[in-house]
Each structure stands twice: as C-alpha cells, then as structure tokens.
Amino acid sequence: MPFDFFKLEIPDVLLIKPKVFEDERGFFLEIYKASEFAKAGIDLPFYQVNHSKSKKGVLRGLHFQLEPKAQGKLVWCIKGKIWDVAVDLRKGSPWFSKWVAVELSEKNKHLLWIPPGFAHGFVALEDCEIIYLTTNEYAPELDRGIIWNDPTLNISWPVREPLLSHKDSTLPRLEDAEMNFYYRSGK
C-alpha cells in the first residue's frame, strides 16, 4: 500500500503518510490514489486544486464554505513547513469546536485530510508552498471563516503575532459565525 492513514484526536481528520521511493536521483511518491483513499473512507471526488505560497509567519484561516458547497481538503506542503489546523464545525459532533493540528513539511511529505464541515487554517513556520485538493469548487458567496485567535477555540498557535490579511483579521468569532454543517455518525 502506498499510504498509511492515521486517525487523529478527531478521528475524521486523517494524517496521511505516503510511501516515498528515494534514491540518488531523487524521489517518487503518490499523493492521491482514488482506490486507496476510498478504502480509508475518503471517497469524495476532487474538483479543484489550489497552490498557495506564504512567507514565514503568515497565518491563513480559519476558512470554510457553507453547504451545499462545503469543501473537504487534502493538504500537502511541497516547500518549507506549516502548522496545519482543522476545527470541527459540525453541529451534533462529539468534537464540535475542537481542533487538531499537525506539522506538514517538504521534508516529512505528509498530507492532511480535512473533511467537509471543518474550518481550515495554517501558519507558515518557514517560507512555504502548499497544494491542496478540494471536494468542491470555490464559491465566494458561501465563503466563511472564524477569527484565528477565537478564545472559545483556544488554538495553541506557535506564533503570537502572525501576518494576516485584512479579511482574516476581521473574521467573526465562533459564536457569531454562520455554519450549516451537521454531524452524521459513521461518516
């Protein structure tokens, strides 16, 4: 199997470790294989691929899209290093408002699966580039977010004063955010 899938503290979020084939020429790895991902419970199609570049200290997020265009995201850091965060926003979930975070880097080559119904954000620990596949296309009218330092979420970001866009610095708190996700047991 070219992948190992690991459940995190929120078991619907998966850390994915691809098998890396390295030799004196370089390396090869698969970042996605539909049949293997389906076996791990990730059986949604991907409709958009994004590439993001950030300077060290930039924090992006916490972003999500409302239904019917909620996005699952498969995140991969291809250059540098990020601290990647997923927050459960599914009403009725035993993990509602809880978060998990992992370090993704060009060195470890790990991927993170964040299902629909989660907010996503990351901070660049080094100058970085990430690629992420989404299960729905971007729909600006359904684009929403939560402020990165929301006291209810109490995320332990590894930076105190991140570089933020105007949009990200003015996002609402969790209690004021519009959300329409519902937890479905076994999904």
The DSSP H or E segment spanning 26 is strand 26-28
CB atoms inside a 10 Å sphere around CB 171: 22
Task: State residue 186's pLDDT score.
Answer: 58
What is the rounded average pLDDT of the residues 110-137?
A: 98
- Write the secondary structure of 30-66 as one string of H (helix), E (strand) and C (coil): CCCCHHHHHHCCCCCCCCEEEEEEECCCEEEEEEEEC
| Mean pLDDT across the chain | 96
* Identified catalytic residue from 63, 138, 166, 183: 63
Positive or negative, the CA dihedral 63, 153, 14, 163 is: positive
- Mean pLDDT lowest for which of 62-71, 101-110, 120-129, 178-187? 178-187
What is the rounded average pLDDT of the residues 34-60?
A: 97
Task: State residue 185's pLDDT score.
Answer: 73
Active site residue 110: no
Active site residue 51: no
Q: What is the pLDDT of residues 131-169, one digit of tens each?
A: 999 999 999 999 999 999 999 999 999 999 999 999 999
Going across the sheet that includes 48-54, the strands are: 3-7, 14-18, 111-114, 73-79, 128-134, 48-54
pLDDT above 70 coverage of the chain, percent: 98
Domain ranges of the chain: 3-176
Please determine, looking at this structure, whether the domain spanning 3-176 carries the CATH number 3.40.190.10: no
pTM of the model: 0.95
pLDDT above 90 coverage of the chain, percent: 95
- What is the helix, strand, coil percentage profile of the chain, to 5? 10, 40, 50
* Identified catalytic residue from 32, 110, 120, 132: 132
Q: What is the pLDDT of residues 75-116, one digit of tens each?
A: 999 999 999 999 999 999 999 999 999 999 999 999 999 999
pLDDT of 30 over the 90 cut: yes
